[in-house]
Amino acid sequence: MATISVPLSAELENRLDALVSDGVGSNRADVMRRALERLAEEEAINAVLNAEREVGDGKILRGDLRTLLLEN
């Protein structure tokens, strides 16, 4: 597992600590991992929606979001 260091503003650090305090994650690293997973999911959904708009002609995309994301 890789470890990275990311500078955060005081506001983001406070938000991160608040999320830990609220039980969103067990610690800062857990919250950050969850945030990255959610961002990746949102990007996959956006990619599918954008591709669906581009396809047009009534075609419907079907399949696993991760597979569809990698194809686009």
**Residue matched to tokens 């686009």:** 72
Span 16-54, pLDDT tens digits:
999 999 999 999 999 999 999 999 999 999 888 887 777
The answer to whether the beta carbons of residues 68 and 44 sit under 8 Å apart is yes
How far, in Å, CA of 25 to CA of 19, rounded? 7
Tell me the average pLDDT of the chain. Answer: 87
pLDDT, position 51: 77
Q: How far is it between the farthest Cα atoms of the chain?
A: 49
Using a 10 angstrom Cβ sphere, with 0-12 exposed, 13-18 middle and 19 or more buried, the burial of residue 47 is middle
